[in-house]
Amino acid sequence: AAKHLGRNRFAYFSPAMQARAQERRRTSDELRQAVARGELQMHYQPIVELATGRIVKAEALLRWRHPERGWVSPVEFIPLAEETGLIFDIGEWVFRTAVSDAARWRGEGCEIQVSINVSPLQIAKGGASFARCMEFLASQRLPRHAIVIEVTEGTLLQHDRNVEERLRELEERGLALALDDFGTGYSSLSYLQQYRFEFLKIDRAFVGNMQTDSRQLALCRTIIAMAHTLGMRVISEGIGDEQAAELLRHAGCDYGQGFYFHQPMPAAPFEQLLRARDLPPALH
């Protein structure tokens, strides 16, 4: 019977599955060392005010430069970081780095707002690392709403008392909240009533085929109108061409980001861009 079971198990965990599991284990070991080895980098994607074209915000997006594999996408390693609990250390590094960069830009007279992505676990279970982040934030003495925290619907789905408390704490400490990837998850409109989101981000899944799909455009218009009625401002992601930018501007969308405007880039070229553009209030 044992032999039989063994054979079944072998059949169940196919060689391909075993290889995949092994690969994930190796990647998570490497990810564990990535912070200490300086392999993580913060990139910034400019966010423009659609009415004026000014760069007024930037989204901090994490990049991992693997010694052999080159750039690894966050779509691949963030879920792994969440499964292994590495997200707390990584999230703390992201927070410190983005807040320090924001403080430096502010110090140079540039009133740019920096958006940071935060995983649901960091809010619900991030005890000590959450507290350290808040302490670091306080030490930087940034003006109110200099930092935006982007959370997904997944964060609000966790029926955890911590979530509500932590989101309120973020607000009390002067951070603005943005609801990311709106429309792709289990969008329950009750969240919008329960929490005070300053910004609603329309996922690029909606923005992508707006030009060819009139229903998609109608959805974007409806989301924008609803957000405005509730006192939120709207940021559209994934704007790929001028036509999309124009459609969204006409629909009253407040801000946009996308490859049509700018790709995410390291801090240094981002600073150069701000200087060259002389916008917003100059980094002389």
Return the residue of 45, 117, 129, 155 that touches Mg ion, per CB under 5 A: 117
User: Is residue 101 part of the contact set for ligand C2E (CB under 6 A)?
Assistant: no
Residue from the set 34, 47, 62, 156 that interacts with ligand C2E by CB under 6 A: 62
Is the CB of 62 or the CB of 142 nearer to ligand C2E? 62
Collapsed DSSP state (helix, strand, coil) of residue 282: coil
* Residue 183 touches which member of Mg ion, ligand C2E, none, C-beta under 5-8 Å by kind: none
Q: What mask of x and - would describe binding to Mg ion in positions 168 to 207, judged by CB under 5 A?
A: ------------xx--------------------------
Q: Facing residues of 234 across strands? A: 200
Minimum CB separation of residue 207 from ligand C2E in Å reads: 8
How many Cα atoms are found within 13 Å in the side-chain-facing hemisphere of 183? 21
**Is it true that the peptide bond before 79 is cis, omega within 30 degrees of 0?**
no
Minimum separation from the CB atom of position 264 to ligand C2E (A): 5
Residue 92, interface with ligand C2E (CB under 6 A)?
A: no
The owner of tokens 């502010």 is 106
DSSP string, 199-246: EEEE-HHHHHTTTT-HHHHHHHHHHHHHHHHTT-EEEE----SHHHHH
When CB distances are held under 5 to 8 angstroms depending on the partner's kind, the choice from Mg ion, ligand C2E, none that residue 271 binds is none
The CA distance from 174 to 209, in Å, is 36
Give the other-Cβ count within 10 Å of 179's Cβ.
26
**What are φ and ψ of residue 65, in 5° steps?**
-100, 100
- Of 37-45, 64-72, 234-242, 266-274, the window that binds Mg ion (rule: CB under 5 A) is 234-242
108 vs 125, beta carbon nearer ligand C2E: 125
Site map for ligand C2E, 192-231, x if CB under 6 A? ------------x---------------------------
CA distance 189 to 103: 34
